[in-house]
């Protein structure tokens, strides 16, 4: 698959009619849904609502006058996620879903590795199976670790992570690079 920036997808340089937003009911996901809908791209959202609410998407629908195809499911559940791919012709994915608290990741590292990495692997497998080759991954500045200099750049060294959360983001970046 090809890893794109959000700006590249949203710029209209790619012909897209439908985008899957994982974790799309969260703060960033719902704002991304709003922007895609306002630019004429249909949105499918999958979210388990562990750290979000469907009310955010109700507000997006009210603001845009457009419907969002919403699935309450965990992206780690391959059968539930496959159903979305079966029911929609997905052109691209923006992957926001995942646990995100650094402190909690230190206390519960296996929970973070299992959830964050498994969700990315499920998506990669289904992308390959259904021929979806565009993805934007919502990573984190934590992949840079303790900085040698600020600001960070895409070319800044990564892999000096200081928490399991950061390591999951770093590992997923590597998985997508290999994909």
Q: Which residues are catalytic?
A: 165
Give dist(CA 28, CA 132) in Å, integer. 22
Give dist(CA 116, CA 138) in Å, integer. 11
Place of tokens 């750049």: 153
Cis peptide before 151 (omega within 30 of 0): yes
Give dist(CA 132, CA 20) in Å, integer. 10
| Beta-sheet pairing, 69-72 with 18-22 | unpaired
CA separation, residue 52 to residues 59, 91, 99, 116, 135 (Å): 13, 25, 12, 16, 22
């Amino acid at each position: 698959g090809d890893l794109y920036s959000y700006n590249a997808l949203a710029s209209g340089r790619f012909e897209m009619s439908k985008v899957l937003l994982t974790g799309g009911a969260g703060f960033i996901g719902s704002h991304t849904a709003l922007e895609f809908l306002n630019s004429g791209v249909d949105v499918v959202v999958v979210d388990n609502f562990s750290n979000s609410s469907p009310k955010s998407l109700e507000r997006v629908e009210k603001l845009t006058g457009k419907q969002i195809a919403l699935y309450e499911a965990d992206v780690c559940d391959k059968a539930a996620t496959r159903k979305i791919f079966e029911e929609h012709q997905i052109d691209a994915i923006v992957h926001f879903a995942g646990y995100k608290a650094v402190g909690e990741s230190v206390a519960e590292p296996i929970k973070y590795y299992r959830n964050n990495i498994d969700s990315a692997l499920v998506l990669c497998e289904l992308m390959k199976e259904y021929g979806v080759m565009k993805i934007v991954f919502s990573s984190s500045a934590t992949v840079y670790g303790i900085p040698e200099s600020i600001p960070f750049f895409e070319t800044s060294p990564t892999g000096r992570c200081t928490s399991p959360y950061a390591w999951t983001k770093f590992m997923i970046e590597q998985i997508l690079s290999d994909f």
